[in-house]
Structure 1
């Protein structure tokens, strides 16, 4: 493995790799380093025959605040200008496809992946956990498909993968309201498998399940995951392509500017449908 990453750490022992989000943004927010390093790390883990299971978690009190808007402003700002023409839209479309591929690298990894989630898991954090195989949460975990509150259609995986995890009504409730839900609610609707008392117990449970998986014949485990993944690959891919095109056409709006400005100013947005 590469020895040094800015956005995460990787520790391998006993056939289990632990990938820990470390920021550098507050709350392990997902900045440029995250989007560049995540697919690199998962490609290396995928190719390592000694790694039979992967545990994904966040450092500190939260799993991830999601997209680091301050650090990633260059991705959105050309699109926020009124009258954005074909070039900024095409550039945005290309950047968005690259970001989608970063999360897809987790979903496509042939090694089973288990998320241990504590504290906040917002926006891009939900995109990320929707790409793993198994999700465990700490009792203090809180989840939000927050993008709608910023005037953004979630576009890097949640709307493509959550239909395979949640029932339609629960998914639409989360995606259309942008509301926060706690760990108990997340377990009830099937977003997470189990809830544990605290972050330490959650990580221990994830590592215990990883060890169970690692003890099984690795080629058969890979086969089980491949067969399960085959049932969803085409649908997810089509959804990602569609939302990338949709957002490149319709994302620029006065409401987008208002949503992001209101977030930074810590006030309620006033959306006009413009």
Structure 2
């Protein structure tokens, strides 16, 4: 495997036939800035091509899995589309950016090596997008989840609304997406977002590695085949949903409410939405 010591958003370690991909920031709480979106598809494309890797553990460093999109780091990419709402060029550029971000998450879902996510602490917004692309999700008892995009004036557009309905029930999807509420690990397990809950971060990571090692001990071509067959029936609907939301957000995301949401983040105050 290539030396990725220069990477800024991840570390990649291999133990036998299991690779561990760990989010390391550089934003607080492993927030997802430009480096994350650039490096994620490269990481998983390489793991997919590596014959020695048969399963992947996806984890977050520190106390939290991920705070989600790094709004301060990505604000410049949003500024152009907000600054000139009526023009096609900034909307077209924004649409292309969304497609690139979607492709980064899809690289995790499309990896032929099964991915087991180990979540501790907060898993917010883009963090949920990421874990919905995994095959199996485990949580520590202190884990908390939020489809937070509605709170910051956005429609989630890089995977959650496409994949979450295939993991949990429709009513639960709508409750999480429409409220932006936080749920704890026990609730996440009850609704099927995670397979199991473990005492702490060390325990959930150990469990993820145990399951990954169990998968890696099976015939790799058969494992690839199982993933391919399971993914076949849903790949069309996921792709269609991603294409639709990218176009929808390019058309409708620019709003006074989104500007207010971003401003409120920087000013560390509650936003006041007007529906404009």
Query: Structure 1-normalised TM-score?
Result: 0.99
Matching residue of 1:265 = 267
Cα RMSD, aligned residues only = 0.8
| C-alpha contact (below 8 Å) 2:157/2:242 kept by paired residues | yes
CA distance in 2, matches of 1:263, 1:159: 23
Matching residue of 1:96 = 98
- Residue 125 (structure 2) pairs with residue 123 (structure 1): yes
Q: Report the secondary structure of 1:114's partner residue.
A: strand
| C-alpha contact (below 8 Å) 2:162/2:238 kept by paired residues | yes
Q: Report the secondary structure of 1:256's partner residue.
A: helix
Matching residue of 1:181 = 183
Deviation digits for residues 91-127 of structure 1 (CA, Å, limit 9, x no counterpart): 0001110010000000000000000000000000000
Q: Report the secondary structure of 1:105's partner residue.
A: helix
CA distance in 2, matches of 1:218, 1:193: 23
Deviation digits for residues 126-157 of structure 1 (CA, Å, limit 9, x no counterpart): 00000000000000000000000011000000
Residue among 5, 28, 52 paired with 2:54? 52
CA distance in 2, matches of 1:78, 1:120: 30
CA distance in 2, matches of 1:84, 1:10: 43
CA distance in 2, matches of 1:261, 1:21: 27
Residue 84 of structure 1: how far off its partner (Å): 3.6
Matching residue of 2:67 = 65
**Worse-matched range after superposition: 42-51 or 70-79:** 70-79
Q: Report the secondary structure of 2:197's partner residue.
A: strand
Matching residue of 2:249 = 247
Aligned length in residues? 274
Residue 82 of structure 1: how far off its partner (Å): 4.9
| C-alpha contact (below 8 Å) 2:84/2:90 kept by paired residues | no
Query: Structure 2-normalised TM-score?
Result: 0.98
Q: Which runs of 5+ in 2 are unaligned?
A: none
Runs of 4+ in 1 over 4 A off after TM superposition: none
Q: Which runs of 5+ in 1 are unaligned?
A: none
